[in-house]
Amino acid sequence: MFGSFLFDVMAIGALGIGSQWVAWKLKLPAIVVMSVAGLLVGPVFGLINPQEGLGNFFSPIISIAVAIILFEGSLNLDFREIRGFSKPVGRIVTAGAFLAWILGSLAAHFVAGLSWEVAFVIGGLFIVTGPTVILPLLRQARLKPRVAAVLKWEGIVVDPFGALLALFAFQTIRFIGGDLSGSGILIFFAASLFAGILGWFIGWMLGRTFERDGVPEFLKSPVLFAAVLFVFVLSNEVMDETGLLAVTVMGMTMANMHLSSIEDIRHFKENVTVLLVSYIFVMLTASLHIDTLLGIFNPRIIAFVLATLFLVRPISIWLSTIGTDLTNRERTLISWIAPRGIVALTVSGYFASILLEHGYEDAELLTALTFALVFGTVLVHGFTLGPLARKLNLVASDSSGALIIGGGLFSAQLAKSLKDDGKPAAIMDDTWHDLSEARKLGVDVLPGDVLSEQIDYRFDLTPYQYMLSMTHMDLYNAHVCSDFAHDLGQDAVYRAGLRGDPKRYGVEGVRLVRSPGRFLFEPALPVAVLDARIRAGHVIRKTPITERYTYTQYLRERDESPVLLYILRKDGGIDIYSPGKEIGAEAGDTVISLAPPDKTVDKVKERLEGAGDGKVTADRSEIERKLTNGGNGGGPKAPLPGPAPDSALK
């Protein structure tokens, strides 16, 4: 009853997606949770065996899934982004990857005891560093920008090419071993050239068709999905295993055409990829035999993992970065961190079956070897990245930066104010027009959807301690806070005030009210109201708190019209206002608010006229002029209500 084909498909999907959710909830690497789930239902308790249950469908499903994963990864290879980095990235992904392949192959042969053929294939595959694992680690560790960028882009660039290098190594070894004749190797390279041209042509043709609206929006993702399958299968029909090259070239071609619809395509592909990764990962782990699982504890496999950690990675990084501007501390950290991830596991299972079919019996060890390396690197690097970075002083300072989600007039002014205060600030929006005001003010803009899985691949979000969701969509702001509260903490995610009664959203209104994250500012106003105040001439005002002019006096004398935004602390941190949040200020702090400029001028003039202690020497007309013109680009710098601080009246 429970051993049918459909039951196995259902169980695998439920375990995979459920594991992804548990990993998100517990802040654990998804690869660890999926592995445990697959091992429990497979070799441990023997509840399912996907390889037997799916029969002849098992290998084709794995092959197609790997092709889609590589295509989705190659869609991120926009060379404009890579070109902006300095020499170390280029060195590591070329010379470093080559050295890692050679040294890893030597270790696989002499330490793990694999044959030369299998060793060189798996050595090529193990150059990947698992971006699906490294990106969450970087976000948690909050490294300094340069070292974080190197680790991030190494994973993105090298990841799609690990399987290709393994493929070329496999065919070359077959040629050297006599399995392929001279004409056979020429045919292989000709077929590889055909696969590359096919991938480029289909990618270019689809890109041009999409840009000319030759395909309706609702069909773009399905058409692309079908095209990937077509390119992969056709290439493999011409020559086995060249389909991976074809789909990778296709993805790179479309990524560098800079299509306007590429974001929608990426969004669809990432959803499909998450589903496929969940399926094939559980399929691979649940299909393991208990002997293979116990093989992880083979002394030779453990020795190989140690050699990879302490010899292969450090040597390849230190040699490839000679002559670059990386410091020794940066080279030390980069040479230690290289967690392998889902791609290494899925593709190694794919190549294990191919090698076994061609008579390489020692390929049976590949699955256990890969599992040992993945688990070893994920656990060791996951627990040591933060402490080692702090030891080497490579952790970014607490700059209290803020990423504002949602462009607009007020968002641009707020980001400009933060930037003027020396804080990292940027605005993200998936509509280019809504970022126009921020661009005029010189604020950093990040075009994209922050809820997209690919956003970590495209942008470095580590400098931003706070996430301020300020779109005009209440539910979207709630979703942003729900997603990022796990990574940043509930005290670091904020959302704009609601536009009306949450009951109008029905069931979603409950989520809207209970969503993590505080409401922004005091009082918490909708973004539309804040934008309207900017259009009405309101300005961002900065009021220093001094010994003579205390925070208590500021609160007592302010009227209800200003909106309290945040406090700039004298130590450089910021504290954001929120309804119900207890917040105070001391001498040396600065209160930032949104206030009408006319009331600002009147109050300062009133204070100046009432000052009788003989210490006021400033020109009143000059102060009035500065306040009146302070509405653009951060607002007035002078204090406002109460006795004027000395810093404004000297």
Q: Please write the tens of the pLDDT for every residue from 183-193.
A: 767 787 788 88
Would you say residue 434 lies in a domain? yes
pLDDT band at 287 (very low <50, low <70, confident <90, very high): confident
Q: What is the helix (H) or strand (E) element at residue 518, kind and residue range?
A: strand 518-519
Q: Which of 453, 323, 337 is nearest to 385 (CA)?
A: 337
Q: Please write the tens of the pLDDT for every residue from 144-185.
A: 778 887 887 787 777 667 777 887 787 777 777 666 666 767
Residue 360: per-residue pLDDT: 83
Residues 347 and 455 in one domain: no
Low-confidence winner among 52-66, 242-256, 406-420, 575-589 (lowest mean pLDDT): 52-66
480, burial (CB in 10 Å: exposed 0-12, middle 13-18, buried 19+) = buried
Decide if pLDDT at 602 tops 70.
no
Would you say residue 396 lies in a domain? no
Highest-confidence segment of 140-154, 274-288, 472-486: 472-486
Residues 246 and 350 in one domain: yes
Residues 386 and 453 in one domain: no
Which CATH number goes with the domain that contains 507?
3.40.50.720
Residues 112 and 209 in one domain: yes
DSSP type of residue 570: T
Residue 190: per-residue pLDDT: 87
pLDDT band at 647 (very low <50, low <70, confident <90, very high): very low
* Continuous H helices in 459-496: 474-488
Residues 341 and 431 in one domain: no
Contact predicate 434/407, CB 8 Å: yes
Residues 324 and 440 in one domain: no
Q: Please write the tens of the pLDDT for every residue from 290-328.
A: 877 777 888 999 999 999 999 999 999 999 999 888 899
Residues 369 and 489 in one domain: no
Say how far apart CA 468 and CA 477 lie, in whole Å.
9
Residue 316: per-residue pLDDT: 94
Say how far apart CA 480 and CA 492 lie, in whole Å.
12
Would you say residue 11 lies in a domain? yes
Which CATH number goes with the domain that contains 386?
1.20.1530.20
Decide if pLDDT at 631 tops 50.
no
Contact predicate 153/86, CB 8 Å: no
Both structure tokens of 168: 């070329």
Final residue of a structural domain among 475, 494, 528: 528
Both structure tokens of 407: 């462009």
CA dihedral 285, 385, 70, 20 (to 10 degrees): 50
Say how far apart CA 321 and CA 317 lie, in whole Å.
6
Would you say residue 352 lies in a domain? yes
Both structure tokens of 11: 């169980």
User: How big is the chain, counted in residues?
Assistant: 650
Final residue of a structural domain among 495, 528, 561: 528
Q: Which of 308, 333, 170 is nearest to 244 (CA)?
A: 170
Would you say residue 80 lies in a domain? yes
Side-chain half-sphere exposure of 563, counting CA atoms within 13 A = 23
Q: What is the helix (H) or strand (E) element at residue 568, kind and residue range?
A: strand 563-568
Residues 214 and 355 in one domain: yes
Q: State how far the alpha carbon of 353 is from the alpha carbons of 101, 362, 370, 454, in Å.
A: 21, 11, 14, 31
Contact predicate 43/290, CB 8 Å: yes
Q: Please write the tens of the pLDDT for every residue from 480-531.
A: 888 888 777 788 899 998 877 666 666 566 566 667 788 999 999 999 999 9
Contact predicate 631/537, CB 8 Å: yes
Measure CA 529 to chain center.
32
Q: What is the helix (H) or strand (E) element at residue 10, kind and residue range?
A: helix 5-26
Residues 547 and 505 in one domain: no
Say how far apart CA 328 and CA 11 lie, in whole Å.
49
Would you say residue 444 lies in a domain? yes
Q: How much is the mean pLDDT over the chain?
A: 80
What domain range is 407 assigned to?
Answer: 401-528
Residues 188 and 241 in one domain: yes
Reduced to 3 states (helix: H, G, I; strand: E, B; else coil), residue 591 is strand
DSSP type of residue 82: H
Average pLDDT, integer, range 210-228? 85
Final residue of a structural domain among 333, 366, 391: 391
Matching residue, tokens 């706070």: 466
**One-letter amino acid of 37:** A
Both structure tokens of 524: 């918490």
Residue 637: per-residue pLDDT: 37
Say how far apart CA 343 and CA 160 lie, in whole Å.
9
Q: Please write the tens of the pLDDT for every residue from 552-561.
A: 988 888 777 7
Contact predicate 470/428, CB 8 Å: no
Residues 507 and 600 in one domain: no
Would you say residue 253 lies in a domain? yes
Would you say residue 335 lies in a domain? yes
Say how far apart CA 600 and CA 593 lie, in whole Å.
11
Q: Please write the tens of the pLDDT for every residue from 37-79.
A: 888 888 888 888 888 888 888 878 877 887 887 787 677 666 6
Contact predicate 645/549, CB 8 Å: yes
* Continuous H helices in 212-312: 217-238, 243-255, 262-286, 290-294, 299-307
The structural domain count of the chain equals 3
Decide if pLDDT at 352 tops 70.
yes
Residues 316 and 350 in one domain: yes
Say how far apart CA 92 and CA 99 lie, in whole Å.
9
How close are the terminal C-alpha atoms of the chain, in Å? 87
Q: Please write the tens of the pLDDT for every residue from 112-121.
A: 988 888 898 8
* Continuous H helices in 27-130: 30-39, 50-54, 58-74, 79-83, 87-91, 97-110, 116-125
Residue 351: per-residue pLDDT: 81
